[in-house]
Amino acid sequence: MKSFFERLRVRRLASTFVLLATLSAAIVAGSFAAHGVRGQEQQASSADATPLKIVNSTIPPNEFVKIAHEVAPAVVNINTQTLPKQSDNRGRRNFHFRAQPNPQNPDDGQGDDDQQGQGQDNFQDFFNRFFGGQIPGQPDGGDQGGQVQESLGSGFIVDPKGYIITNNHVIDKADKIYVKLSTDPDTQDLGRPARVIGVDKATDLAVIKIDTNTSLPIVKMGNSDEAQVGDWVEAIGSPFALAQTVTAGIISAKNRTIEPGASGQFQHFIQTDAAINPGNSGGPLLDMNGNVIGVNTAIYTQSAGYEGIGFAMPSNTVVSVYNDLISPSHKVVRGSIGIQFREGLSSAVNRVYGFKNGVLVQEVQPGGPADRSGIKAGDIITSIDGRSIKDGDDLVNEIASRKPGSTIRLGFLRDGKQQDTTVTIGDRDKVFAELGNQQTEQNPESSGDAGETKLGLVVRDVSPSVAQKIHNSGVEIESVRTGSFGDLQGLEPGLIITHVNKQPTANRDQFEAIVSKLKTGDDVVFEIVDPKHPEEGINVVGGTL
């Protein structure tokens, strides 16, 4: 049964159509009345009228036409289905969730050898990754009322055997994935079943495959490093389920990092004003040679639609990730030396510490690669294998590209004196998994950011006035990280958590102490009160971490 708001929306749309039809009829009637021409069309003579003819154009097709004709057969429509999950739906069904900005705090500038600070928090309020697929009648893509959720995206074939590149967020958490080729009949409901070969969340890329008995058309991968700001580009995809849509624009900027901190450390996008919208995700961005120079991934918008700023993952990054994902391990392995550094230091710090270019080490992971090689907090990394390091970006890219087990010669400053040491590169995932385990063991009772790290929740103590209003104590949710465990349970800023796993969370310290003990695979159940609707009492939501 449709909700009150859905019924109201349908009635409003129907009223709008009726109003438009009525106005059109009134305008036509008024025109006839004003000019006194009703019925005169039967009496007018058209003997002197010349029939129109269609003239064939002699102008040859432009480059956009040629590229669309050449590349479009290799661009596919991707549909996914996600089966309803109780933990994902219950919270959203019970609470009065309202559309409101969810501002993120500016990045504090801290980083590790896999992280850099950007401080571009203005992108966060309205930064939409477009999962594309709203089910018809579900304009906000929200609660599906226990129904199967469908999403829409794009992709392109890179191997005639059926290997396809798309965005990870297009197929993430999907139970079923379907691919429709440009040659598949429209009567085919969803398309051909596809399976996941590998995903890389750090770059939001995925490789999927369909079975085929014939050789499929493919795209050519171009060199994104050669692309210049101002170059013409063309995008092809399935915005709003409109397959094989072609748009054009220029490259507006390069090397855009739009998410601060660890989430954006390997994402350096091409910015374009070619129109891309929900459903374009995973589609190709093409240069004027018809080569793919990017994968359309995200837009900056205040309206959930195109506003002239889109972002594509560069093809050079895509090719590197793809080759890793089709390898036997089906994963991207990145190097790490186990340090944390502070990015974006002022020139005053550089002058006092005596360096112009380089990275100031803030913390060294005990027992990690850098620690075993004698690197200490306060050292300034200036070079790798004799090549000068400009900044944190440079350091991250250089180390991440190295294979675990390989060695590098690290140049650094300590107390103003130039030194160097040999460091054996570690596997990034393993290095920081060990770091997380060490932190948990060192402080098992309480971790100041356990709620944010494990659940994606930042909380604060409830004010006395709010506690009196809800007749309970608890912690108020300040922010929820998109895609986090808390977000998947439907939690939003402003809600009050009174218990976690039946244990009271009367203040932030209690909340953090409880959360710090949670491990992957644990069941986590929240007791929630909405202070705007305290009459609804306690709502219970939860899932498996």
Interatomic CA distance for residues 258 and 201, integer angstroms:
15
The two structure tokens encoding residue 109: 């500038």
Q: What is the dihedral of CA 38, 43, 44, 49, to 10 degrees?
A: 130
The two structure tokens encoding residue 87: 């933990």
Interatomic CA distance for residues 151 and 79, integer angstroms:
6
Interatomic CA distance for residues 435 and 366, integer angstroms:
8
Name residue, tokens 């390069």. Answer: 254
Q: How far is CA 296 from CA 156, 181, 246, 315, 467, in A?
A: 11, 18, 13, 10, 46
Q: Does residue 542 sit in helix, strand or coil?
A: strand
DSSP designation for 56: P
For the chain, the maximum distance between any two Cα atoms, rounded to a whole number of angstroms, is 101
Amino acid at 537: G
What's the burial of 289, exposed, middle or buried (CB within 10 Å: 0-12/13-18/19+)?
exposed
Interatomic CA distance for residues 34 and 149, integer angstroms:
53
Other CB atoms closer than 10 Å to residue 191's CB: what's the count?
Answer: 17
Interatomic CA distance for residues 321 and 200, integer angstroms:
7
Interatomic CA distance for residues 342 and 454, integer angstroms:
23
Interatomic CA distance for residues 34 and 31, integer angstroms:
5
The two structure tokens encoding residue 134: 């709203």
What number of residues does the chain have? 545
- First CA to last CA distance, the chain: 32
The two structure tokens encoding residue 179: 């691919």
Interatomic CA distance for residues 286 and 342, integer angstroms:
36
Which of 341, 518, 339, 545 lies closest to 432, judged by CA?
339
**Strand 291-300, strand 220-221: pairing:** parallel
The two structure tokens encoding residue 528: 């929630």
Interatomic CA distance for residues 232 and 295, integer angstroms:
16
What's the burial of 265, exposed, middle or buried (CB within 10 Å: 0-12/13-18/19+)?
buried
- Would you say 151 and 174 are in contact if contact means Cβ atoms under 8 Å apart? yes
What's the burial of 62, exposed, middle or buried (CB within 10 Å: 0-12/13-18/19+)?
exposed
- Would you say 53 and 215 are in contact if contact means Cβ atoms under 8 Å apart? no
- Would you say 326 and 162 are in contact if contact means Cβ atoms under 8 Å apart? no
Catalytic residues: 169, 204, 281
Q: Does residue 78 sit in helix, strand or coil?
A: strand
